[in-house]
Chain A
Amino acid sequence: MLDSGTGWRTGGRPEVDRWRLYVRGTILGYKRSKSNQYPNTSLIQIEGVTTKEEVAWYAGKRMAYIYKDKVKKNSSHYRCIWGKVTRPHGNSGVIRAKFKSNLPPKSMGDRVRVFMYPSNI
């Protein structure tokens, strides 16, 4: 994991290709029963997490759903909805998450970033 070289590319970008300090997650949908869904809680599948016990590490971690829009807000096309991991969902590593405002339905299947903070290590 040691970088050789200066660490920076020309143009100010860091040399490493990926600068990820978040874990990738997929938005599966809303918390639901067969015929009713509850959009205030979303279900997220975090990469590499397959059991309920592994989810314990992620409890409380903050997440961000980042999306683009045509209209510029705060001088950027990118927008963000913040949320956090609340609890595991089932036995297989899916988690429930609550966001500041409910995730839009178009986000199903999209990427979500699960950060490593607030950290407890």
Chain B
Amino acid sequence: MAAKRKTPVKTRNPDLIRGVGKYSRSKMYHKRGLWAIKAKNGGAFPRHDPKPKAPAAAEKPPKFYPAEDVKKPLLNKRKPKPTKLRASITPGTVLILLAGRFMGKRVVFLKQLTSGLLLVTGPFKINGVPLRRVNQSYVIATSTKVDISGVIVDKFDDKYFAKEVEKRKKKTEGEFFEAEKEDKKKLPEDKKEDQKAVDASLIKSIEGVPDLKAYLAARFSLKSGMKPHELVF
């Protein structure tokens, strides 16, 4: 095949009626430029001989044949795509978290990761929410937007949030009865640095907008008489 085209070619022979093209065979020969291809190749259509195959290694007949035919499972070529992002969620949108440890917190959306989860930050200084992943379904998008142009988020992906694999130490009999040394899980310093780097430019743009800092610090809660189906977020 020749080099692939970026856009599929519109058919050169539009249908007059289904099954009847506008142009005749000879006209189409001319339109497709087959005469030019032939001329380039000296009067005949270019022919590509199949490349000689490397001789296949001699295969030994298998020792074992299963009693009944073994079915091969069908190939799965499906490539999952990240969840479709709602139109209301754009980088810089203030989201309300609906569940989990930080429920009710108003938080800034940074980007969607390849797994489909949303990357989100408090900013940490304002409401205590660190860089975190959140599922789109557990979030309400408000119409408030924050200017996010100064923030670099390229280095964050799902692997950044993967749990650290702990090495299991083999215990001997004696150690079983000893008091377990519990290593306190400290947040590694580089993650703290990442948080500060992301938040620095965010906080600047937040402080530029009146009341936005207090808005992000406050939590959302349903009060008496509030009907979510009537609220405009």
Contacts and interface: CB of A to CB of B under 8 A. Distances in A.
Interface residues on chain B, size class: 20 to 34
A47 B224 CA distance: 10
A45 B137 CA distance: 24
Nearest to B233: A121
Contacts of B138: 117-119
A23 interface: yes
Given A57-B229, A116-B98, A21 B221 contact: yes
* For the complex of A and B, 5 pairs with smallest distance between CB atoms: A57-B229, A118-B137, A48-B227, A20-B222, A117-B98
Main SS of chain A's interface residues?
loop
B218 A119 contact: no
A8 to B, nearest CB: 10
Interface of B: 86, 88, 98-99, 103-104, 137-141, 211, 214-215, 217-225, 227-230, 233
A3 B137 contact: no
Which bracket fits the contact residues of A? Answer: 20 to 34
Interface of A: 1-3, 7, 14, 16, 18-23, 47-49, 54, 57-58, 115-121
12 contacts: A1-B223, A16-B221, A18-B223, A19-B219, A21-B103, A48-B225, A48-B229, A116-B98, A117-B99, A118-B137, A120-B86, A121-B86
Given A19-B221, A54-B227, 7 more contacts: A2-B214, A21-B220, A23-B227, A48-B230, A115-B98, A119-B140, A121-B233
A102 B218 CA distance: 38
Given A7-B217, A20-B221, A23-B222, A119 B139 contact: yes
Nearest to B128: A7
A48 B217 CA distance: 28
Contacts of A7: 217-219
